[in-house]
Structure 1
Amino acid sequence: MSSPVLKGLHHAAYRCKDAKETVEFYQNALGMKFTTAFAEDHVPSTGAYDPYMHIFLDAGNDNVLAFFELPEQPEMDRDNNTPEWVQHIAFRVGSVEELVSAKAHLESLGIEVLGPTHHGVFQSIYFFDPNQHRIELAADIGTKEQYEELARVAGPMLEEWSLTKKAPRHAAWLHELARSKSGDS
């Protein structure tokens, strides 16, 4: 028996407070197309009674972001044992110029935006959707050689982390690059 051959991500699904508000946010803030909605009283996989609205938005390049509104479940909350910066949805934009333009657009809608933050091989901005999901927009800026080096050190970094639970220095150059580009000392 062999592993499945994956053809990409079909969709990623999250919970939302209000399906209509969520669709409007992703359409207006990020230009996503609302493609599909399913409303059911019973969960198809389990048969359990749990009314829901399941919405799907086109995030580009055959990537789909989906949400569930669950009106009969307790009010949604975040994982309070995980810092809010950890769990996020990241979308790629084509350039740093597009990233800066997106920031201006979001701020014109009254959305508070953090960044751009320089990560060495990409730059990002961060903000929250109406459901308090953290959203990242990222523009790749690294060279082929930088990405190859990151791939080369990934295994050794993971092994060292697994043993020590301390940040390995295999990619220290990446942090130095980010500091030098952002003007930090």
Structure 2
Amino acid sequence: MKIQQIHHVAYRCKDAKETVEWYKKNLNMDYTLAFAENHVPSTHEPDPYMHIFLDAGMGNVLAFFELPTKPEMGRDENTPKWVQHLALKVADRDTLVAYKEHLEANGVEVLGVTDHSVFHSIYFFDPNGHRIELAYDDPGAAEMAAKAAAVKDEMLEEWSRTKRAPRQAAWLHEKEMDKV
């Protein structure tokens, strides 16, 4: 048995129509499908919802649920905002910079470009408070990823014992840390 790919990733949204329009306008994603029911098919719970689907490219689907009868959306206050995010891949640096400029022109606050060595990315929030990352792979990504993968097991073991950052792959962010 082996997973083939992600079928879809689903998040909650405040307003389905606003979410569709925001993703179309800011990320050029196509709105592909909607389901709406007054009962949840899996649990049979009586609860109206709107379930929308957006094309995230190459068979990847980003979905949202609007749940009008539930309490206002919140987030896990014990988890920093930067942790939970959705990362979407773009072709190259020119595309990433074009998205950054496009988002900023639409009033979206953008952080980055951040250099992760293996990839480079920008970060921003959608209208629902979900953190989104756009990233492109560095031209030398395959070689760097292989170097980092070679130490993954020993890093995980060291982390498990010490709960301190192992240094075997510290080179990934040394350039970025030099800027701090």
Report the equivalent of 1:94. Answer: 91
Return the alpha-carbon distance in structure 1 between the equivalents of residues 114 and 171 of structure 2: 17
Aligned match of 2:50? 53
Partner of 1:156: 154
Instruction: Check if 1:81 corresponds to 2:85.
Output: no
Q: Give the CA deviation at 1:178.
A: 4.0
Among 163, 166, 174, the alignment partner of 1:168 is: 166
User: After superposition, where does 1:23-62 map in structure 2 within 5 Å?
Assistant: 23-62=20-59
Instruction: Please list, as runs of the form range in 1=range in 2, the aligned pairs for 1:89-168 lying within 5 A after superposition.
Output: 89-141=86-138, 142-168=140-166
Rounded to whole Å, the distance in 2 between the matches of 1:59 and 1:32 is: 6
Length-normalised TM-score, structure 2: 0.96
Cα distance, 1:143 vs structure 2: 3.3
TM-score (norm 1): 0.93
Deviations 1:24-79, CA, capped at 9 Å, x for gaps: 00000001000000000111111111110000000001000000000000011011
Instruction: Give 1:177 deviation, angstroms.
Output: 4.1
Report how many residues are paired.
179
Residue 106 of structure 1, CA deviation: 0.4
For residues 176 and 64 of structure 1, what CA distance do their matches in structure 2 show?
Answer: 34
| One-letter identity of the residue aligned with 2:170 | A
Question: In structure 2, the residue corresponding to 1:107 is in which secondary structure?
Answer: helix
User: Structure 1: which 5+ runs fail to align?
Assistant: none
1:158 partner amino acid: L
The residue that corresponds to 1:65 in the other structure is 62
Structure 2 stretches lacking a partner, 5+ long: none
Question: Is this contact kept in 1: 2:115–2:173, CA < 8 A?
Answer: no
Q: Which residue type is aligned with residue 69 of structure 2?
A: E
Q: CA deviation at 1:5?
A: 2.1
CA shift, 1:172, in A, is 1.8
Identity among equivalent positions (%) equals 63
Query: Equivalents in 2 of 1:127, 1:111: separation in Å?
Result: 7
Deviations 1:121-162 (A, max 9, x none): 111111110000000001110332211011111111111101
Give the Cα–Cα distance (whole angstroms) in 1 for the partners of residues 85 and 9 of structure 2.
12
Code of the residue aligned with 2:124 in structure 1: it is F
- CA RMSD after TM alignment: 1.2
**Runs of 4 or more consecutive aligned structure 1 residues displaced over 6 Å after TM superposition:** none
